[in-house]
Amino acid sequence: MRFEHLYVHVPFCARRCVYCDFSIAVRSSVPVDAFVTAIARELATRHRDSSLELETLYFGGGTPSKLGPAGVDRLLGAIRERATLRPGAEVTLEVNPEDVTTGAVTAWLRAGITRLSIGVQSFDDTVLAWMHRTHDAAGARRAVEQARSAGATNVSIDLIFAVPSHLGRRWQRDLDVAVSLDLPHLSVYGLTVEERTPLGKWVARQAVTEAPEDSFAAEFHEAHRALTGAGLEHYEVSNYGRAGQHSRHNRAYWRRAPYVGVGPSAHEFDGHSRRWNADAYAKWHSTVSSGGDPVEGSERLDEDQVAAEAVYLALRTTKGLDFMRESDEVAAWARAGWVILENGTLKLTADGWLRLDSIAAGLTHVRSRY
């Protein structure tokens, strides 16, 4: 089979953030060689007959920058032995601010990285300490400056909104700092509480109170106003970017393109079925190292699942959904200011994105009637 997109999950972190429910492996010393060898083996074992001509390659985590510049170079080299990177391919590396130096960025760019995604999360020191992040606000700004001074032009940062009110964070201040950096791309996520995380346990025992829905909505709209006012397109529910610098890899997910996923907990999609790897690093590594397939589960999507997923993913983006029929539900959503229907395309407004799940479910039901 032919694939144009590859995701590599690099699980290593210095510590676990309070909200993190991802597959991570906290290590003071990262086993770079063992990890790179295992990734190469997983690709060679499961995709020995696949055609991998990549338009996008994404190193996510975890913290891929914990591999160090030489480790990233070795990992890219191992992938090139099995896959071809097309000219102009987008190659994204997720990095933490404390790993960004001019020397590291120079080495990453030389290795073939074309896009950096910096996990800033906030420009408030109190919030960063509460999250258990390993950098401060000054370090976050310095990371952006050093990335640019080393020649990186496609730089994105992540920010998190709707943190608990007791932290006293002024969200507008975070947005002002982000705008002042004049970045080509930002990803903005609302804080979610996952049961297995430290935050989930704090909320369960009522030691921390989640931000209420009205605060969540207000901060989502603050971000929309500030970032679109700075000339960025709000092109997906959580993403803002300048023309030509939208995330091409994430766009492949939103249009249901097939992609390869390797590494612990990585997901993979062939256009019809999904599969996912063992979550724990030790289990994934031992299985791959012994020549086995680390798959932990899979599902084949039926027609109804495909249709529902297509609706949901299309509504996440400004591209919208092809929708030629009027309905009472759509008319009511339009009057409420949640959707826009024009020229056969249905798009959500910022207000509509706050209701994405319910509108997608309702629209799937509407389409099923025809």
What are the angstrom distances between the C-alpha of 116 and each of 7, 15, 112? 15, 21, 11
In the chain, what percentage of residues exceed pLDDT 90? 95
- Average confidence score pLDDT of the chain: 95
Q: Which two tokens stand for residue 127?
A: 């919030």
Return the ∠ at Cα 96 (arms to 92 and 97), rounded to 5°: 115
Whether 287 is covered by a domain: the verdict is no
pLDDT in tens, 146-165: 999 999 999 999 999 999 99
Residue 326's pLDDT band (boundaries 50, 70, 90)?
confident
Residue 274 DSSP class: E
Its domain, for residue 350, covers 303-368
Specify the CATH number for the domain of residue 214. 3.20.20.70
Q: Is residue 264 part of a domain?
A: no
Average pLDDT over residues 114-127: 98
Q: Is residue 108 part of a domain?
A: yes
Asked whether residue 327 carries a pLDDT value surpassing 90, the answer given is no
Last residue of a domain, one of 224, 254, 284: 254
pLDDT of residue 367: 60
Give the list of residues 6+ apart from residue 168 with CB closer than 8 angstroms, or none.
126
Q: Is residue 114 part of a domain?
A: yes
- Residue 333 and residue 225 share a domain: no
Residues 315, 250: one domain?
A: no
Mean pLDDT of 101-120: 98
Helical packing angle, 102-111 and 137-149, nearest 10°:
50
Domain co-membership, 236 together with 308 = no
Please say if the pLDDT value at position 239 is more than 60. yes
Residue 219 falls inside a structural domain: yes
Model confidence at 369: pLDDT above 70: no
Instruction: Judge if 107 and 250 occupy the same domain.
Output: yes
Query: Quick one: pLDDT at residue 323?
Result: 84
pLDDT of 190 > 70? The answer is yes
Last residue of a domain, one of 254, 280, 314: 254
159 found inside a domain: yes
The average pLDDT across 34-51 equals: 96
Say yes or no: 217 and 330 in one domain. Answer: no
Same domain flag for 237 and 310: no
Residue 130 and residue 11 in one domain: yes
pLDDT at residue 28, as a whole number = 87
Distance CA 321, CA 257 (A): 16
3-state secondary structure 111-123: HCCCEEEEEEECC
pTM of the model: 0.96
Residue where a domain stops, chosen among 220, 236, 254? 254
Average pLDDT over every residue of 162-179: 97
pLDDT at 368: 54
Q: Which residues of 235-267 are buried (b: 16+ CB within 10 A; e: fewer)?
A: bbbbbbbbeebbbbbbbbbbeebbbbbbbbbbb
The verdict on 327 and 247 lying in the same domain is no
- Percent of the chain exceeding pLDDT 70 equals 98
Assign 353 a pLDDT band (cuts: 50, 70, 90). very high
Chain-centroid distance of CA 209 in Å reads: 26
Average pLDDT over residues 294-316: 95
Same domain, 51 and 150: yes
For residue 88, the number of C-alpha atoms closer than 13 Å in the C-beta half-sphere is 3
Tell me, yes or no, whether 248 lies in a domain. Answer: yes
pLDDT of residue 335: 95
Please indicate, yes or no, whether residues 324 and 228 belong to a single structural domain of this protein: no
The pLDDT value given to residue 257: 97
- The whole-angstrom separation of Cα 55 and Cα 62 is 23
CATH number, position 313: 1.10.10
Do residues 228 and 307 both lie within one domain?
Answer: no
Tally of domains in the chain:
2
